Structure 1
Amino acid sequence: MNPRWEGGPGCVFQASGWGTKERRRCLSMVAVGDVAGVEYSLRTEDGSPFETRFDQGRVKLVVGGGGFAPFLHNAVLKMEPGEEKEVTVPPKDAFGEYDPELTATLGMDSAPGDISVGTVLQLWTGQKATVTEMSGESFKIDWNPDLAGTSLVMDVKVLEAAKAESVLKTATFAGGCFWGLELAFQRAKGVVSTKAGYAQGVVKNPTYSEVCSGKTGHTEAVQVLYDPSETKYADLLTIFFGRHDPTQVNGQGNDKGTQYRAGVYFHDEQQKAVAEKFFADEISARRLKKLATELEEVREFYDAEDEHQQYLQKGGQDARKEATETIRCYG
């Protein structure tokens, strides 16, 4: 008879060869897909703390589910509730090595008003660049991340962990380009994880270029995992309706096509009932017969490619809870 094997990812053991203590420890380790409550802080190697564009302190995350920074997910993996440790994060795993290609020297005739060394400028991409040098006829800008090339030290403690499906609920929305909508939900209280993807189509495993062709039937969407003890589905609907025009057919703003159509895609009868009331109130308030925004049961959701996940956070926009900086959707 083949022996029975148990345990989560990275935690596999032969049942007959381990004692009860080892078995319990293994099964309590944080695994990919778990929701973990952690407390962590970051500092440079010389001990200086610094701000990030994502939250520090006490946070919740779905391990391996995006958001925050990959090094936090990697550190928490296989830890146990109550365990704490210090982790050194090399530049390549933190904010990247310094890249001299992310600099430019420009003529003073292109300067946006009065500038000096240290002035922060916003590029057309939405990224921020710092003026690092000036001469009589030119100035140099640098849009490397502030901590590019810097090693970090992270103190992290796992406070609690559970299987995500036992704690969190799922909601799915489409509202034009998924980059901006995802960042809006990243900032929302009670939202633990977000991912960009493709919903309500007829082609399996579509690519971004296929969806953009308008031939797969999908719309760009955001799937949200939220903690119902901290936020309500109606709160998510309020955020969603504040981020899109429910009267625009097959598009949002300058993004036009069926792949940018808006929709609320409910996962259960409770969400359906809340959404139907929300739609009815919107229709009444706007004095319309109906909204262009779809209201349907969610069909299969496909994750978008990695480069689209938390895209605006990666570009330097503020993903901290309740941040108020204007969301700029660029690409």
Structure 2
Amino acid sequence: ERRKELIVTVPKRKLLGSHGLDDESSLKVGTTLQLNSNSSNGGGGGLQVLVTAVDEDTVTVDANPPLAGASYKCDATILAIDSVPSPTTTPPSSKYQVATFALGCFWGVELACTRLPGVVGTKAGYTQGLTVAPTYQQVSSGKTRHREAVFVVYNSEEVSYSELVDLALERLAITTPTTMFSNLFEEEDDSYQYSHGFYYHSESQRQIALSKLDKNNRFRVEVRAATTFYDAEEEHQQYLLKGGQSARKGAKESIRCFG
């Protein structure tokens, strides 16, 4: 989906004066620009935009990902259908296992997990709260105490729970201020909605999570038994993929959490 709010027309002088561009020769239709960013929460590097129109005084730029709005067709043949586990039933003998992580906003977490080879399914949702089937608005109020979380189904013959925890820690390193300097200026977020948690579905997962966190204690992460997981609304499922960001297995492109 190509989002109209990410397409803006601005004065040339604003681009040239505020984003380190040398002269107007760089402002040509089809040119990709890297704009400086004053934000501290997006992983650095500024914002990449595409110049789509230029006139005497203004420039129109598009911040949508390159694949936004694109579609493709393919032929597929179903070779076999395997039963997969649910949040409440996971046969120990099955190669398909489940994991649940809360790492802040679930959009970026779901895309990161989807990209990991061996992950066969994900759901954005809510867990560890007090009420049944909460809505996003109710969770955002903090009154239900639910965490935004991602439920992951993975093929344990291709990827291990330990590797999933490593990915979770990588996401926390990207999205969570950890230095003394940044902590001086960042207000601590005590909201339930964006709490961090590794919610285990087995004793083995609990031990792995605790061991990993013991070696990497920069983050405040709760380790609890998994409880009922409620799917988030459809609009939140694969939100960033719908916005055009790649979910290709092994993809390394930076994840932008605004679509």
**TM-score bucket (shorter structure):** 0.7 to 0.9
> CA separation in 2, counterparts of 1:100 and 1:214?
31
> Is residue 232 from structure 1 mapped to residue 144 from structure 2 by the alignment?
no
Contact 1:169 1:225 in 2 (8 A): yes
Which residue number corresponds to residue 273 of structure 1? 207
State the secondary structure of the residue aligned to 1:158.
coil
**Cα distance 1:329–1:110, how it changes in 2: closer, same or farther (>3 A)?**
same
Contact 1:127 1:315 in 2 (8 A): no
Contact 1:186 1:194 in 2 (8 A): yes
Which residue number corresponds to residue 162 of structure 1? 82
Contact 1:174 1:222 in 2 (8 A): yes
Which residue number corresponds to residue 321 of structure 1? 249
Which residue number corresponds to residue 215 of structure 1? 143
Matches for 1:28-177 after TM superposition, within 5 Å: 103-111=7-15, 112=19, 113=21, 114-121=26-33, 129-142=49-62, 152-165=72-85, 166-177=94-105
Could you tell me how far 1:152 is from its partner in structure 2?
4.2
> CA separation in 1, counterparts of 2:53 and 2:211?
57
State the secondary structure of the residue aligned to 2:81.
strand
Could you tell me how far 1:228 is from its partner in structure 2?
0.3
> CA separation in 1, counterparts of 2:177 and 2:31?
41
**Cα distance 1:127–1:312, how it changes in 2: closer, same or farther (>3 A)?**
farther
Contact 1:127 1:316 in 2 (8 A): no
Letter in 2 for 1:215: K
Matches for 1:259-298 after TM superposition, within 5 Å: 259-283=193-217, 292-298=220-226
**Cα distance 1:153–1:327, how it changes in 2: closer, same or farther (>3 A)?**
closer
Letter in 2 for 1:200: Q
Task: Give deviations 1:260-291, integer Å, cap 9, x for gaps.
Answer: 111110112222232233233335xx6xxxx6
Which residue number corresponds to residue 90 of structure 2? none
**% identity of equivalent residues:** 43
Could you tell me how far 1:103 is from its partner in structure 2?
4.8
> CA separation in 1, counterparts of 2:108 and 2:160?
21
Letter in 1 for 2:14: S
Q: Give the structure with the higher percent strand.
A: 1
> CA separation in 2, counterparts of 1:180 and 1:143?
17
State the secondary structure of the residue aligned to 1:169.
strand
**Cα distance 1:255–1:164, how it changes in 2: closer, same or farther (>3 A)?**
farther
**Cα distance 1:147–1:240, how it changes in 2: closer, same or farther (>3 A)?**
closer
Could you tell me how far 1:225 is from its partner in structure 2?
0.6
Task: Give deviations 1:6-34, integer Å, cap 9, x for gaps.
Answer: xxxxxxxxxxxxxxxxxxxxxxxxxxxxx
State the secondary structure of the residue aligned to 1:171.
strand
Contact 2:68 2:245 in 1 (8 A): no
Could you tell me how far 1:309 is from its partner in structure 2?
1.3
State the secondary structure of the residue aligned to 1:277.
helix
TM-score after normalising by structure 1: 0.59
Gaps of 5+ in 1: 1-94
Contact 1:176 1:255 in 2 (8 A): no
Which residue number corresponds to residue 231 of structure 2? 303
Q: 1:258 aligns with which of 192, 197, 218?
A: 192
**Cα distance 1:314–1:129, how it changes in 2: closer, same or farther (>3 A)?**
farther
Could you tell me how far 1:247 is from its partner in structure 2?
9.8
Q: Rg bigger for which structure?
A: 1
Task: Give deviations 1:204-253, integer Å, cap 9, x for gaps.
Answer: 111111111111011111111100010000010111112226998xxx97
> CA separation in 1, counterparts of 2:172 and 2:163?
15
Contact 1:177 1:255 in 2 (8 A): no
TM-score after normalising by structure 2: 0.73
State the secondary structure of the residue aligned to 2:100.
strand
Letter in 1 for 2:28: S
Aligned length: 226
TM superposition outliers: structure 1 runs of 4+ over 4 Å: 99-104, 121-129, 142-152, 245-248, 252-255
Letter in 1 for 2:227: R
**Cα distance 1:215–1:153, how it changes in 2: closer, same or farther (>3 A)?**
closer
